[in-house]
Amino acid sequence: MNTTHAKYINRELSWLEFNQRVLDEASDVSNPLLERLKFLAITASNLDEFFMVRVGGLQLRVARGERGSEPAGLSASEQLDAIASRARLMVSNQYEAFLTDLEPALAENGFRRVTSVQLTEQQLAAVGRLFDTEIDPVHTPMAVSDDEFPLLGNHTLNLLVRLEAVTVDDEPRFAIIPLRSPRRFLTLTGESNYTFILLEDVVTLFVERYFPGEVIREVAPFCITRNADMSVREDLVDLAVGMEEVLDARKQSACVRLQVGDQISDAALDFLRSRLAVREDAIYRLPGPLNLSAFIQLTDMHGFESLQNDPWKPQQSQQVDMTLSMFDVLSEKDVLLLHPYESFDPVVKLIEEAAQDPDVLAIKQILYRTSRTSPVVAALKHAAQEGKNVTVIVELKARFDEERNIQWAHSLEQAGVQVIYGVKGLKTHAKVCIVVRREPGGIQKYLHFGTGNYNESTARLYSDVSYLTCDESLGRDATAFINAISGYSQPQKFRKLEMAPIGLRNRLLEMIEAETQHAKQDLPAQISIKLNSLVDPLIIDSLYKASQAGVRIRINVRGICCLKPGVPDLSENITAVSIVDRFLEHARILHFHHGGDDRVFISSADWMPRNLDRRVELLVPIEDAASKRRLMDVLDVYFQDTAKGRRLRPDGGYDEPTGTGMGAQEFLHRQTCELVQQSTQSRRLAFQPHRASGQDD
């Protein structure tokens, strides 16, 4: 390798390749039709957030005149150029998939979108009534003058109306109609099972009613994406107030992308470009409906089950008898849960039981993201109202969940919960809950560690791991960890846990180095890891060094991977694969061979500088023999997936899957169901006699 830059893949381009893998699922005819539409909508939503955060941040760096480069050697300006080229190709592929493949196939299966020119006389009359009763009263056009432009919401759909000039020499006049109706897909009667028309088409059809006596020359849909890469001031006394200021600032931040219909005139586009001060390379002319992410609303409609995946219902773990108290279960054994194949219910049950149990003295927990109607939050509030000592660390800086977390924090405070807004200068991303219970033998701590959030909704959609235990050493470590966050105490040396930003990276580097030394001594050496992202240059260099020493390294990475695998004399012993399937891969699982004394961990942290340097994260050892073996087996399953697994090439692209058999996710689902079935059959075969009243068992 001639330069250090040649060792790394640019993180932004790597992320775009991840989104391309999701888009590939939209074109995979082996997926049900509405699932393909869902994948398409997800790619559009992903791209929206990418522009808001990553592109927005790069544009700020260019505006500030920053000249530094990232590890792959690209400046901020060069990254924007590369992103623009790759993103345009992706958007072109999105609309090709939607217009030439998905929409015609959906129409053939009774799922049809019509435009205003395709309306029958009966449908036109129905749409007119709908406009009069539901649409017209809600929407208000806003005239746009030379010196005033309305404040338009981030990623909201709008119509630009060009009116005829008053005189020949005058400039054209413009007005904007923000489309604020919650219903974008308007149902019509038709020959298909589901016929609909888009809100913007209906408003365009009747737009003259907003401008009586005017001549309308053009109506053009457009959508702006604003920069959301903003940070709260960490020196504020009230962090919640600061976060509210950030949320307000996002509403009026700079436009980082302008999406318009491809029929827009040059005059209308020039008007928007000048008023929004948007870069030329940030304008996207789209040949179909804007905001494809909204189409996810249509993908779970009743009556179209044949176009959807067969549901995979989470199974109750056979390690947990839900008729028993979770305290009794965990007193007997540790419990490892694989979500969403196994239900999140035991985790919720532990917290709900803790809230009601009179012997529970305290609950300490970190909340990063939760659901809108969170039973976990309800249980914590109930526990405080019952007089228990409840401490909750609510991370207000969880991007795009800030507003919800502020609301949860206030409601918890009102219930008597001690609420802490994270740590200054860091995001608290670890997932841990501690239940302190008074028992005959003394104080016992029951613990939950997770790779995902305390969100029972996403626990049905994300692939994550939960570990429940009452291990004494982990209990002491977890308490010290929470105390370090909640107070001014200095983090102590942990017995088993490791935390970022203090020692986690060094611990990882030490374990990689140990494998390297084993390989140099001609001993078996292997590393298997499952992550969402691999970006950190120090760790990547350490993995390169291990590979050169002969360590066999297997990486399963869902999204960004800046490491180049399979490069001779650099990473020839490293393979990296990615799996995109019906569930979002979110678990972080690590296995180091360690001379045959296998070391297995779960973690909240990806291997990125932000996680290791600017977030509070946890690395949790799994020492229970059964749980350890299970996680090692799970890793093997992911590396054997030839149906959905794609291998990363050194150039940053991915090879197509090599087989058509069962994917890792389907295997894990079937395996879980089979274990449940076997357990049920075993219970049926067990004889349990009826005993006379008064006889002891």
41 touches 299 (CB < 8 A):
yes
260 touches 269 (CB < 8 A):
yes
Residue 246 pLDDT: 46
Quote the number of domains for the chain. 3
- Domain match, 141 and 259 both: yes
Residue 155 is a catalytic residue: no
Does 340 sit behind a cis peptide bond, omega within 30 degrees of 0 on the bond before it? Answer: yes
Going by C-alpha positions, the residue among 490, 493, 448, 454 that lies closest to residue 469 is 448
> If you compute the radius of gyration of the chain from its CA atoms, what whole number of angstroms results?
28
- Domain match, 262 and 153 both: yes
Examine residue 235 and state whether it is found in any structural domain, yes or no.
yes
From CA 631, how far away is CA 634, in angstroms rounded?
5
Q: Select which of 155, 339, 429, 669 is catalytic.
A: 429
Examine residue 693 and state whether it is found in any structural domain, yes or no.
no
- Domain match, 90 and 104 both: yes
Helical H segments across 357-500, by residue range:
375-385, 402-414, 472-486
Tell me the CATH number at 69.
Answer: 3.30.1840.10
Mark which of 495, 521, 545 sits at the end of a domain.
495
- Domain match, 107 and 41 both: yes
Examine residue 683 and state whether it is found in any structural domain, yes or no.
no
Residue 627 pLDDT: 98
- Domain match, 483 and 555 both: no
Give the residues of the chain that fall short of pLDDT 70. 1-5, 146, 167-169, 229-252, 397-401, 488-490, 682-697
- Domain match, 80 and 107 both: yes
Helical H segments across 550-624, by residue range:
609-613
Mark which of 472, 495, 518 sits at the end of a domain.
495
Q: Mind listing the pLDDT tens digit for each residue in 575-615?
A: 999 999 999 999 999 999 999 999 999 999 999 999 999 99
Question: Could you give the maximum distance between any two Cα atoms of the chain, in Å?
Answer: 104
Mark which of 495, 524, 539 sits at the end of a domain.
495
- Domain match, 610 and 651 both: yes
- Domain match, 484 and 507 both: no
Tell me the CATH number at 565.
Answer: 3.30.870.10
Examine residue 153 and state whether it is found in any structural domain, yes or no.
yes
- Domain match, 8 and 87 both: yes
- Domain match, 29 and 147 both: yes
Distances, alpha carbon 25 to alpha carbons 19, 277, 426, 655, 679, in Å: 10, 36, 36, 14, 35
Examine residue 482 and state whether it is found in any structural domain, yes or no.
yes
- Domain match, 531 and 472 both: no
- Domain match, 298 and 355 both: no
Examine residue 681 and state whether it is found in any structural domain, yes or no.
no
pTM for the whole structure: 0.91
Examine residue 676 and state whether it is found in any structural domain, yes or no.
no
538 touches 505 (CB < 8 A):
yes
Domain containing 405 equals 327-495
What is the DSSP code string of 321-355? Answer: -TTS-HHHHHHH--EEEEETTB-SHHHHHHHHHHH
Going by C-alpha positions, the residue among 94, 90, 81 that lies closest to residue 41 is 94
Examine residue 689 and state whether it is found in any structural domain, yes or no.
no
The total of other beta-carbon atoms located within 10 Å of residue 696's CB is 4
Bridge partners for 162 per DSSP:
174, 218
Q: Which two tokens stand for residue 369?
A: 């993201």
